[in-house]
Amino acid sequence: MKYMILLYGNPAAEPAYGTAEFEKMMAEFAAVSAKLVADGVLDSGEGLQGVETATSLRIRGGKVETMDGPFAETKEHLGGYYVVDVPDLDAALRYAKIMPPAHWGTVEVRPLMDYNPAGK
C-alpha cells in the first residue's frame, strides 16, 4: 500500500537557513531519506519551493482563473512529501514519526488511491 507523508511547517518556527539548527535539520532529512531507501520503502519524495512561488488555478463559469500564491491562507505550509510503499498505516506512521517537521509542524499520512486493477 502506498502512503503519502505530507510535511507541513510554519516557516517562522523552522530553523533559519545558514544556522547550525538548519544544518542539523538537513542532516536529519538526509538520514530519514537514507533509512527509507535502505528499508526499501521509498517510492518518491521532494521538497517544495516556498508558497510565494505557487500558482493556483480554478475554473468558474467556464473561465480559467489563475492566482499567485496558495489558495488557502494558513500558518503551516506544505513543504514537501515522501511516498512510501509499506504494508499498512501502522508502518507508514512509524516512518512519519521520524520526520523532522513532526517536532515543529505537522506530518500528515494519507493513503494513495490505487486505480490500477490487481495484477496489471
pLDDT for the residue 71: 63
pLDDT tens, residue by residue, 71-118: 666 778 899 999 999 999 999 999 999 999 998 899 999 999 988 877
Q: For position 73, what pLDDT does the model report? A: 64
Predicted TM-score (pTM) of the model is 0.85
Model pLDDT for residues 22-54, shown as the tens digit of each residue: 999 999 999 999 999 999 999 999 999 988 888
Eight-class DSSP state of 31: H
Under 8 Å CB-to-CB from 77, ≥6 apart: which residues? 8, 9, 10, 11, 50, 51, 70
Altogether, the residues listed in the chain come to a count of 120
What does the pLDDT read at residue 104? Answer: 87
| Neighbouring residues of 42: CB distance < 8 A, sequence distance ≥ 6 | 33, 36, 82, 83, 84
pLDDT on residue 72: 64
What is residue 24's predicted lDDT score, i.e. its pLDDT? 96
**Look-up of cell digits 493513503:** 111
Q: Residue 84 pairs with which residues in a beta bridge?
A: 3, 42
Which fold, 2-10+19-101? Alpha-Beta Plaits (3.30.70)
Nearest to 1 by CA among 87, 81, 83: 87
